[in-house]
Structure 1
Amino acid sequence: MSNPFEYIRNRVQQHNINQLARICNQDLPAILQDPHIAILVFKVSKKFSDMPAIVIQWNNGGFNDVPISPNNRNGIAGQNKNAIINFLTANGAVNYHDTVFLFRDGPALATCEHNLPQWVRHQTAIPDVCTAAIRVNCITVKGLCGGSRIEFEPFDQAFNR
């Protein structure tokens, strides 16, 4: 017999994904079908209006390419997920659970993306630092974004170029 609490948890997670899908004007990409990311984006969208964000699904393999230096990209100390998170926050992002990063406006987000360190970007034969990233252009449920809508676009190019 399966655990009834697990059944309830799964139903709640699916409800959260469905709720997010209703306020998006597009089909949900795979990153937003992750229940933990979906509920985080949904919660943040209730609190903040008209602040662009990036949502990152990290790839731990991108930080473990040198076995003798775990959690560091290229085996170099300081080239890790925390360094990227610190860079984003130092450049104006507000961090939510190391997954959603809000910016005051689009130009601030674009400037931050443009200035990402080169080691964060795609490198041949090394896994990328994230499996997916999206830019949320309007993260409001009751703001100027046409009522109850969240608009998004792929943002993988920031890390994969």
Structure 2
Amino acid sequence: MADEMTGGCQCGRVRYRFASDGAQAYLCHCRMCQRATGGFAAALVNIPAAAGFEWLSEPDWYASSPIAQRPFCSACGTPLGFAYNDSASEGALDVTYGSLNTPGRLAPQAHFGVESLHESWIDTSALPRHRSDGTASVSERWTKAGLEVPE
């Protein structure tokens, strides 16, 4: 598969791959996506049917509305995406940006569901930035567990 992208859940039980051609990242601010991900928006990647999306290990699914369903991992709880009921069988779906192995390869192209957009969360560039491995309370917990702070 040319320019393949891969991803999956946090625990590794669910994995997927697809060709990156035509994939577009975006933020969806609709209330359903906010609730499904627990965030101010859902960072998603739209994958067209032609990208040859393939689940390497199957996720669990739930009907998030009468028109759509969402894949997730029932073992670790990772939300993995979104698919309209009428396009899921064609292989067209969206995956969560954070579930990609190399998410930095795609930049957001648009905002959707802007009726529920929280403007104060859009430009956070002036906020202080803290690394996980530079935060004592986080580092100490990982050290007690005998591990290093993950990326």
Q: Which has the higher helix share?
A: 1
TM-score (norm 1): 0.21
Q: Which has the higher strand share?
A: 2
TM-score (norm 2): 0.22
